[in-house]
Structure 1
Amino acid sequence: MLPWVVRRTRLPLLSLRCVTCRAESATAARGRFRVNANGKLLDVWLLVHCVSCGRTSKLTVRERATVSSFDPNDLHGHQLNDPDLVAATLLDPAFARRCRFTLDWTGAWRLDAPVVPLDGWPVQVNVTFDDPAPVRPDRLIAHRFGLTRSEVLRRVKCDIPLNRPTSTAFTFTVLAED
């Protein structure tokens, strides 16, 4: 069984309406937090900017929270703009729902896969994801094996629908040509 891994190459873009240019433009995370203290309460925002006009906006991570309510590692990560914490915050579905944005993964991932032996049909492949990058299995398989999508639908046996985006691990088998 061949291991394929879908990995993030950069943070995905956000589909979020810009308050300045009013376009439903993509915004990119700057990879920075802003932490503001007001007495014993802290506010934490993730800074994003509009790709169209360049305006910086803030997405609320925590609002009016006491210092003691923070995990010390998270608070330290917010203060240091930890890239892993930025990614974890951005990829959190609850954060996306609360801030009303969706992620655009176009060009933000790559497939790490070994060379497929040409004489070893059928080929079994296990696909795993490092991050929840939604990909259509039929396009992924067609691209890697150099097949058309109709050939993929004919020759591939899989336990999930091939024409719907997924970001969960799956296994498939490519059968030899008829």
Structure 2
Amino acid sequence: MDCRSESATTGEGRFRVNANGKLLDVWLLVRCVSCNRTSKLTVHERTSVRSFDPAELHGYGVNDPDLVAARLLDPWLARRNRFTLDWTGAWRLDIPPARLDEAWPVQVQVVFEDPIPVRPERLIAHGLGLSRPEVLRRIKCDIPLRRTTSAGFTFTVMAGD
């Protein structure tokens, strides 16, 4: 009986590479956190060996953890294999204690340790304890607030009314 859970983890993050003549199949092995069953996510299917970057091919062979993370974060791979990643609790905005004498506006730089997709307006609202409309009113950002990003950004908090 197949597990109906939609949550999975990479476990040890291993690739499986299968050669058929000059064509390669590459899968990423994942383990379901609910039933502990291992499944394969298709990374490449019947792809010519010549089309691979040598470093990428080597990464598949040695189960490079950075390559595992890159493939799991690849939206094309997620669509192809019909999976989504659960980002619940994967990010937080660390804020120094508020200083009442601090002059407005306040500039904040956001840096991600890992490329986790998040909407800046959601991160800022949650981190600063503001409503989303208040974020849109008081925050000036170097990227669109309502667009998902996984790259760092800078925003400025304007004084409240």
Q: Letter of the aligned partner of 1:134 in structure 2?
A: P
Greater fraction strand: 1
Q: Letter of the aligned partner of 2:139 in structure 1?
A: V
8 Å Cα contact 2:92-2:127 kept in structure 1: no
Shift of 1:61: 1.2
Match of 1:48 among 30, 50, 57: 30
Paired position in structure 2 for 1:115: 96
CA spacing shift, 1:67–1:160, aligned 2, 3 Å: closer
Shift of 1:121: 1.3
Structure 1 length normalisation: TM-score?
Answer: 0.69
CA spacing shift, 1:176–1:45, aligned 2, 3 Å: same
User: Where does structure 2 lack aligned partners over 5 or more consecutive residues?
Assistant: none
Match of 1:63 among 45, 50, 63: 45
Match of 2:108 among 120, 125, 129: 125
Q: Distance in 2 between matches of 1:136 and 1:74?
A: 30
Report sequence identity in percent.
68
Paired position in structure 2 for 1:106: 88
CA spacing shift, 1:169–1:55, aligned 2, 3 Å: same
Q: Could you say what secondary structure the match of 1:109 adopts? A: coil
Q: Which moved more, 1:31-40 or 1:136-145?
A: 136-145
Q: Could you say what secondary structure the match of 1:102 adopts? A: coil
Match of 1:72 among 23, 47, 54: 54
8 Å Cα contact 2:95-2:127 kept in structure 1: no
Shift of 1:142: 3.6
Q: Distance in 1 between matches of 2:16 and 2:69?
A: 15
CA spacing shift, 1:61–1:138, aligned 2, 3 Å: closer
Q: Which moved more, 1:150-159 or 1:31-40?
A: 150-159
8 Å Cα contact 2:121-2:136 kept in structure 1: yes
Match of 1:140 among 104, 123, 134: 123
CA spacing shift, 1:22–1:125, aligned 2, 3 Å: same
8 Å Cα contact 1:20-1:55 kept in structure 2: no
User: Where does structure 1 lack aligned partners over 5 or more consecutive residues?
Assistant: 1-18
Structure 2 length normalisation: TM-score?
Answer: 0.75
CA spacing shift, 1:116–1:136, aligned 2, 3 Å: farther
- Of structures 1 and 2, the one with the larger relative CO (CA 8 A, separation 6+) is 1
Match of 2:2 among 20, 27, 49: 20
